[in-house]
Structure 1
Amino acid sequence: MAAPRSDTRGIVAAPELFARVRFRRREPAEPLRPYVEHYWLIDWDLTEPFASHVVPHPCVNIVFQRYEGTGDFGEVAGIGLELFTQKLEGRGRVCGIQFRPGGFRPFLADRPVSDLTGRRLPLPEVLPGFRAAPSAVLGPEAQDARVAALDDFLLTLGPAPDPRAERAMALADRVREDRSIRRVDELADTVGMSVRSVQRLFAAYVGVSPKWVILRYRVHEALERAGTGAPPDWAALAAELGYSDQAHLVRDFTARVGVPPTAYAQARTGPPR
């Protein structure tokens, strides 16, 4: 990984969010890069409340959080199945670790990642052998110091090398990068595995099915296209992403984002002239 990605995939109404918060992505230490997509840091100081919305990635996150009026705390966020909404108000800070799909399993020992899916659990409940002090991560004002604290936290956990985790991460990367893979059998064929073996691997190491990952990356791509520049040709985009027709894209997008793609695109760019 040369640098954290700069796209806004998964973030609903990204410009509105970035106008209100300070958002950065940072690389982890070199030994952690096989497992971690990036760190993400958010600070805000708002005069009016704002609700942020995210269509979750197929990734586990560890999140250290500070909200006005509450104590610092850390939790493990399994893959979210629904649109995630967080109300931000007053002053606050979040420092997050986004693992690569499959990258959290080496930190989890023998527990399948699917046990975490759709759940947000206190750190000690998921990693009972470690007692983290969230203030060590959230306290420093300098972002470099926060990144160093996140590095120290993960390196202390000492992930165990796992060839099956490496395979799961490689397959998830293939889904994200290769738009020609539209079905699970096509993914299985690329590595000479059976469909059932791929499904078991994803359940244990990623936390959701390979079909779910394929569909989620389709929605992320459509969300990104709808929020930047001129509205796309929806029928052409549906075909490009492997939908049987435009109606299927509209239905999938609406179910995950909460509004139809045309309405979302119009809200981002204004009415046509």
Structure 2
Amino acid sequence: MEYVGRVPAPPLDRFIDDIYCLTGVPRHRRMNVPPMPSAHLFVNLGGPARLWDSDPSVPPAVIIDGWFMGVWTRRFLVEYPAQVRLVGVHFKPWGLSPFVGMPATELRDRWVPVDAVWQRALDRIRDQVGDTATTTEALRVVEDELRSRLARAASRGLGLVRHTGERLETSHGAVPVGALADAAGVSGNHLATLFKSHVGVTPKRVARIYRFAHLILSVDALGPVDWSDLAQTAGYFDRAHFSREFKDFTGHTPTEYLALRRRFPAERGFPPDSGPMPAE
């Protein structure tokens, strides 16, 4: 598959990591996706995609048109169609809030049809992108839609959440949440309440996801991997805690994950392969 993405122009870049097109034949149809520090919008222009939650009590979903996904705190599995064509958005963890007009907790660990959030928008977007639009045109259509929906007035507390979230992003989750609350002049409980409203999870959970994402993306499967050193660098000072969290987030032990990564190396310059792993 080909991945073409770009960072949108300000002010969208405060909330969005990139807008991208994903096209072609997938090298692996089924991918196991660990928690990553982002929320998502997908506009599907190809065949149906299938999604499975790692929580067995949640029924699987077949996605034909498009869907939003808030921040995920557990892994899920996606099955691509045989021919992929979609336009997607990687939002920062707090990035959905000014576009959707609902508490982020309603999108946490969920996939929700686009029209359930943006009523009667999906057909219009798909018609504009169409079958013949170039990648540049498709990215522009989605960027224009996002720009038109960006809330004119920031909702209560979003500025503080964004500032705090950016510190977690740049530190890879290493800044203590208590220190962030103190620096902002608010209580830890108040900061957690704001994060739940705008991100869907607490700042402590966001820090965990950033920390794990940094670790998993730093693994170089082509050479020897010192898991103890990587874990300590990422801020895991308890090896047992690291091992439990790794298994919880990926479904594999570190050793099993490394073996999979060596069997199925990530494609350079192809972000969707950097964290997710083929599901056997």
**Normalization by structure 2: what TM-score?**
0.78
Moved more, 146-155 or 172-181: 172-181
1:40-59 CA distance string (max 9 Å, x none): 2211225x862123223233
Q: Deviations over 1:211-246 (max 9, x none)?
A: 111111121122112344424322222222222322
| Aligned pairs for 1:1-273 within 5 A | 21-45=1-25, 50-68=29-47, 73-109=65-101, 111-128=102-119, 130=121, 132-133=123-124, 134-137=126-129, 139-162=131-154, 164-179=157-172, 181-269=174-262
SS of the equivalent of 1:176 reads: helix
Contact 1:114/1:203 (8 A) holds in 2: yes
For residues 46 and 75 of structure 2, the distance between their equivalents in structure 1, rounded to whole angstroms, comes to 21
Q: Given that residues 3 and 23 in structure 2 are in contact (C-alpha distance below 8 angstroms), is that contact kept between their aligned partners in structure 1?
A: yes
Offset of residue 74 of structure 1: 2.0
Question: Structure 1 residue 149: deviation in Å?
Answer: 0.8
CA distance in 1, matches of 2:117, 2:173: 36
Taking a change above 3 Å as real, the CA distance of residues 228 and 24 of structure 1, as seen in their structure-2 partners, is: farther
Show the counterpart of 2:275: none
Deviation at 1:130, TM superposition (A): 4.3
Q: Which runs of 5+ in 2 are unaligned?
A: 50-62, 264-280
Contact 2:3 2:20 in 1 (8 A): yes
Q: Check the 8 A contact 1:64/1:137 in 2, yes or no.
A: no
User: Is the CA contact 2:115–2:122 (under 8 Å) kept in the aligned structure 1?
Assistant: yes
Asked if structure 2 preserves the Cα contact closer than 8 Å seen for 1:168 and 1:202, the reply is yes
What letter corresponds to residue 122 of structure 1 in structure 2?
P
Work out the percentage of aligned pairs sharing the same amino acid. Answer: 24
- Report the equivalent of 1:3: none
Map of 2:268 onto structure 1: none
1:148, distance to aligned residue in structure 2 (A): 0.9
Higher relative contact order (CA 8 A, sep 6+): 2
CA offset at residue 69 of structure 1? 6.5
Q: Which moved more, 1:222-231 or 1:256-265?
A: 222-231
How far, CA to CA, are the matches of 1:209 and 1:140 in structure 2? 42
Tell whether the 8 Å contact from 1:100 to 1:169 is kept in structure 2 after alignment. no
Secondary structure of the residue aligned to 1:94 is: strand
- Structure 1 residues without counterparts, runs of 5 or longer: 1-20
- 8 Å Cα contact 1:227/1:268 also seen in 2: no
Q: 2:16, 2:75 → 1: CA distance?
A: 22
- Secondary structure, counterpart of 2:35 in structure 1: coil
Cα distance in 2 for residues equivalent to 1:235 and 1:210: 25
Give me the whole-angstrom Cα distance separating, in 1, the residues matched to 2:111 and 2:245.
Answer: 25
Shift of residue 195, structure 1, vs aligned partner = 0.5
Q: What TM-score does the superposition give when structure 1 sets the normalisation length?
A: 0.80
When residues 34 and 222 of structure 1 are mapped into structure 2, their CA distance, relative to the original with a 3 A threshold, is closer
- Partners in 1 of 2:173 and 2:214 — Cα distance? 14
